[in-house]
A = this chain, B = another copy of it.
Amino acid sequence: MIQKLVEKIKKTHAPICVGLDPMLSYIPDHILKKAYGEFGETLEGAAEAVWQYNKAIVDATFDLIPAVKPQSAMYEQFGVEGLKAFQKTVDYCREKGLIVIGDVKRGDIGSTSAAYATGHLGAVKVGSKTYPAFNEDFITVNPYLGTDGVKPFIDVCKEEKKGIFILVKTSNPSSGEFQDRLIDGRPLYEWVGEMVAKWGSGHMGEDYSYVGAVVGATYPEMGKALRQIMPKSFILVPGYGAQGGKGADLKHFFHEDGLGAIVNSSRGIIAAYKQEAYSRFGGEHFADASRAAVLDMINDIKGALGHVG
């Protein structure tokens, strides 16, 4: 799957990923109205609105991008109905040929991580049958529990040819509270980065390991250091756009050939029509606004990198 991601980035010349993190407040009135008309102002109605919103954005952008990153929290807030919309979104994006990165940030003790890995990347045995459950291509993983909390994800990746991105340095303002603390003179995130490189070294695709890392766009200097600590790990870069990261900040997350990282934007793309720059589209044409925002993002990043692949 990591090789497929590299190929798709080369083909689209777009090392970017659209974060499908729908909030009801982003969804235009005409979609809400239709969904509530059909299902009422219920969890089911909310889930229907989320699904229709996602579908329109995917339809308007799938030819430009290699991957999407749905954030599980935005679906879990609507309970079981929300997770049905998550599942529909994952399935639809895969049908459209997109790589799906489930941003679930799971991580637990070994046997429990194994169950998460099964549910999100693998297949579960029920009697004599075997079924995939959520079936993303990649997921994000929290490293706080150490190797035996991460290993079960790697095992399932190996079997299913899938991948993970491990949180190394997150994009939020207080990420430094623990992640930046110095241990033997080096910040914790570098120690986690070293482990990502180590975990990945035995689990290689062609050029990259299928054990990647998450490093926030908001910390470009740290991204530069981590790029060197984990040369074979693909870096998933959140925090572009709404969180403050810009294309010019991102050069050092990449190798010189313009590969090695994929930059996510969520709100900046999916709610583009609410920004002044794209307000000409209006709520009715929100998906066209998303397409325009994707094109602008690709140009911003290409401009910073020079070339991709």
Chain A residues close to B by CB (< 8 Å): 21, 23-24, 32, 36, 41-43, 45-46, 71, 73-74, 76-80, 82-84, 87, 105-110, 112-113, 115-116, 118-120, 124-129, 131, 133-134, 142-149, 167, 170-179, 181-184, 188, 191-192, 195, 238, 243
* Residue in B closest to A170 when the chains form the complex, CB atoms: B145
Show 28 A/B contacts (Cβ-Cβ < 8 Å), sorted by A. Answer: A24-B126, A32-B127, A41-B129, A42-B126, A42-B131, A43-B131, A73-B112, A73-B116, A74-B112, A76-B116, A77-B119, A77-B124, A78-B119, A79-B134, A80-B84, A80-B87, A107-B142, A109-B170, A142-B142, A142-B144, A144-B170, A145-B170, A145-B174, A146-B174, A146-B177, A147-B174, A148-B172, A182-B184
Q: Which of A36, A119, A181, A183 has the most CB of B within 10 A?
A: A119
On chain B, the residues within 8 Å of A145 by CB distance are 167, 170, 172, 174-175
- Residue contact B77 to A41, C-beta cutoff 8 Å: no
Q: Which of A107, A126, A170, A182 has the most CB of B within 10 A?
A: A126
**Given contacts A24-B125, A41-B126, A172-B149, is CB(A144)–CB(B179) below 8 Å?**
yes
- Distance between Cα atoms of A170 and B195 in the complex (Å): 18
20 extra interchain contacts, Cβ-Cβ under 8 A, other than A80-B84, A109-B171?
A21-B112, A36-B127, A41-B129, A42-B129, A42-B131, A71-B108, A74-B115, A77-B115, A79-B119, A79-B131, A109-B172, A109-B243, A142-B144, A143-B144, A144-B178, A146-B172, A178-B192, A181-B183, A182-B183, A183-B183
On chain B, the residues within 8 Å of A181 by CB distance are 183, 188, 191
On chain B, the residues within 8 Å of A32 by CB distance are 127
**Given contacts A119-B78, A174-B149, A175-B145, is CB(A113)–CB(B167) below 8 Å?**
no
- Distance between Cα atoms of A223 and B121 in the complex (Å): 35
A290: min CB distance to chain B, Å = 19
**Given contacts A129-B42, A142-B142, is CB(A124)–CB(B192) below 8 Å?**
no
A185: min CB distance to chain B, Å = 11
On chain B, the residues within 8 Å of A78 by CB distance are 119, 124, 126, 133
On chain B, the residues within 8 Å of A131 by CB distance are 42-43, 79
- Distance between Cα atoms of A106 and B83 in the complex (Å): 16
